[in-house]
Amino acid sequence: MMERVLTLIGILLLAVTQFSVVADAGENQAAQTIYLKELMATDTPVILRSAQSEYSFSIPLSARVQVEKASLDLRFTNSISLTARSQLKVALNDMILAQVPLRARSPEGRVSVRLPVALLKQGYNKLTFSVAQHYTESCEDPSSPELWTQIDTAKSALTFKSTYKPSGFRLNNLADLIDRKLWSEYRLRILTTSDNPNDDTLAAGALVAQSAALLLDYVPLVVSHKVVTRHSAKDKDQQRFPGLDWRSLGGGDGVLIGTNTELKDLVAKQILDKVTGPYLAIFPNEVDPAHFLLVVSGRDNAELQLAAQVLALRGATLPALQHVVISDAILHNQHGYQRPNAITSDRVYSFTEFGFQSTTLQGMYPEPAQLRFWAAPDLFSPGDAAIAMHLHLAYGAGVDLQSTLNLFLNGQFEHAIHITEPHGVVYYDYIVKIPVASLQPGWNEISFRPSMLPANLGGQCQPIFTDNLLVTLFDDSYLKMDKVAHFTKLPNLQLIGRTGYPYTMNHDETNVSVQVTETDSATVSAAWTLMAKLAQIAKYPLLHAQVGNQIHNDRDHLIIIGREATIPAKLKAAAPGSLSTSLLSRISSRESNQQVPQTTDKFSKFTEWFKSSAPDEIKDQNEIKFSGDLNNSVILLQYESPFNRERSVLMLSALNSESLASEISALIQHKTWGKLAGGMFLWQTETQSAQQFESAQSFYIGDADLRSRIGFYFSDSPVAAILTILVGILLFVIVSRWLLVRFRRKHHPNVDDDA
């Protein structure tokens, strides 16, 4: 049996903070040790089974990195039943580097393999382990359970000695500079000229941070705000930046933002003369030419904002120049339901729209074919709404009737297609339905996994033929989703963790206002880092989010970042808990005295009744008091806006700004961010503690008709649904009896009431 499993290329940096050496991007890299487990989606050993098997890892290599030396320290354990013919091969980009005998008498092995630098290429490199395993010298069962070798991914490691290489910096190669394939954690410093940045500077910095986060794709980005350090006397030897002290960058990559007036004491006149509109430029670091300084500027704040917006757009192709002035730009806000690979309405979606290509799967247990798409986070499917997949597929002849093509949704089995024709068949419209309720918010993956056996399973010393075990799935297959509503219940931090909803949806009729309660560097750094994370999740920047020291529009969804003492009183009063030296979290809606303005929503009273109709025993009535030092904790909570129904507040707070800046870098890491749930999340890095709390202060947002809303309320509160039905039956009985009595008295007046 041949088994090839290629790990996802994004997994390397999933655990980047666990690397044995985590260097700042501002330092030339020394020896880097990367354990194989850090290249995997799950922290598990690799087991190579059967007579033939292989497993491949993807090793990233950035264009910025010059590798001088590379090696592999491999540790493994093999079965004690293997014969001397058994061996393990190590290959790099399909070139065999080592052959290791698998010995039954010494099953624990360790080998060091030199990785030729000449074989390493920019991008992703395939490191493959393959085995040929035997337990007898005569006829054998290739799938015998005695045939196995386990690679210890926790102890096996890659070691690289490398440096950053100087580069001819151009705007078009920003993706190679802010690169997800870098081995160390990437930190970006954004420099401003003032220690009290205005709203326009805050908004521009947020867009720059989002731009970098989108270039890093799924790799977390930590942003730090710095006030530029000026030379006391201009250094005439620095022709480009005579007034800049390069120590402001800390030796790494940085971005300098400000209007040309704000930069006039820092930047040379010949550069400022080119700022005749929204301006972008990139220069090498004067102290360390392997790093860069990006300049974002304009003649006024409007041009500065436009330059930052263009930088943040992933689809914008910048020219191969050091300087560029943006002469014109028309920016359209991408609606959250219209993003690429999204299923949002009841139209036909071809598999090609999701990047799927016709695929033939061969063998007994081949690699599965994958279809990946995005589902709106607020989908509500009344009744039996489903996604109907219309498949064009074919399978070969000579396949045993026990064979199946299994369909998994997000790793869970959903459906099986039984292979019943021994002579093979082609289906042009094979329909498979998957309930919409089975979808998870955001990204979903349908996996087509064949499990095929040949009709003739051989015998004693008879070969098993598997070349005819074929399944082809064609890319003209399509799917269609039944009509659904967009309506959901909040608070839901897990929904934010997966999709950023509702702050990343970019609705035409709603926007997001972001309040940074203080403009010190720590608070600004935390705000920019959080916005970068939200954009990274959405795969699109929050182009028109209004960022500032005050709330721009209280009719919007609100994001508030700041230490507890600076949170506006009305927002603090509306929150389900309070943050103080002794944290008292009131999670019951009965204990909140928030004032919510009246609304014309005709469903509001019905909604409020549903909120209060659940039995007391299933409500959270607890007051939770935390003792101990909470000075290093950060709290993230979501609740209904006190200014506008069907709008929410997302608050990130701590007792002091320093904790806010330091803890946000841990919060955005995949390991912590993936734990977000409920309505409140408390995190402390020092103790590695994460606590989640549900909130009884629920509210509903979305666009749905009366029927869909009632269906959602009933499904969300079955007790209330039962009570409603019972009350309805009782009312029906009372009204029916009253009508019957009235009918009798009118048409049969001589009949007594007791008759």
* DSSP tag of 754: T
Looking at residue 15, what is its pLDDT?
35
690 & 547 share domain: yes
- Last residue within a domain, chosen from 485, 514, 535: 485
Over residues 431-468, the pLDDT tens digits come to: 999 998 899 999 999 999 998 888 876 666 777 777 88
- Per the rule left: phi > 0, alpha: psi between -120 and 50, beta: everything else, 608 is alpha
Q: What is the pLDDT of residue 336?
A: 65
CATH number at residue 480: 2.60.120.260
Q: Global pTM?
A: 0.82
Tell me the CA distances in angstroms from 561 to 531, 550, 656, one per residue in order: 10, 11, 11
Residue at 202 is within a domain: yes
**Could you say which of 439, 470, 485 is where a domain stops?**
485
Q: What is the pLDDT of residue 618?
A: 35
Domain boundary among 485, 520, 540: 485
Instruction: Give yes or no: residues 687 and 570 share one domain.
Output: yes
Residues 6+ apart with CB under 8 A from 29: 21, 23, 65, 160, 162, 163, 164, 183, 184
pLDDT at 83: 94
In a domain, 100, yes or no: yes
pLDDT of residue 334: 63
* Whether residue 392 is found in the same domain as residue 288: no
Residues 6+ apart with CB under 8 A from 561: 514, 515, 516, 517, 523, 526, 527, 530, 651, 652, 653, 660
In a domain, residue 332? The reply is no
Residues 675, 651: one domain? yes
Q: Which amino acid is at 293?
A: L
Dihedrals φ, ψ of 150, to 5°? -110, 130
Q: Which amino acid is at 536?
A: Q
Same domain, 530 and 447: no
Q: Structure tokens of 244?
A: 């800049």
pLDDT at 605: 42
The pLDDT value recorded for residue 510 is 54
Q: Is there a single domain that holds both residue 481 and residue 502?
A: no
Q: Specify if 266 maps to a domain.
A: yes
The bridge status of strand 583-586 relative to strand 699-703 is unpaired
Distance, CA of 22 to CA of 35 (rounded, Å): 13
**pLDDT value of residue 193:** 93
Q: Please give the angle made by the CA atoms of 105, 109 and 110, to the nearest 5 degrees.
A: 155
pLDDT on residue 520: 94
* 454 and 387 share one domain: yes
In a 3-state reduction of DSSP, which class is residue 526?
helix
Assess whether 258 and 312 both reside in one domain.
Answer: yes
Least Cα distance to 210 among 299, 318, 310 occurs for 310
Number of CB atoms found within 10 A of residue 732's CB:
10
Half-sphere exposure of 453 toward its Cβ, with a 13 Å CA cutoff? 11
Query: Which residues lie closer than 8 Å to 176 by C-beta, 6 or more apart?
Result: 62, 63, 64, 167
DSSP character at residue 687: T
Asked if residues 207 and 308 have their Cβ atoms less than 8 Å apart, the reply is yes
**Structure tokens of 344?**
């949002």
Residues of the chain with pLDDT under 50: 1-29, 508-509, 578-629
String of DSSP letters for 323-387: EEE-------PPPGGGSTTEE-SSSEEEGGGGT---EEEESSSPPPEEEEEEE-TTEE--TT-EE
Q: What is the CA radius of gyration of the chain?
A: 31
Specify the number of domains making up the chain.
5
Pair 426, 448 in one domain: yes
Three-state DSSP class for residue 735: helix
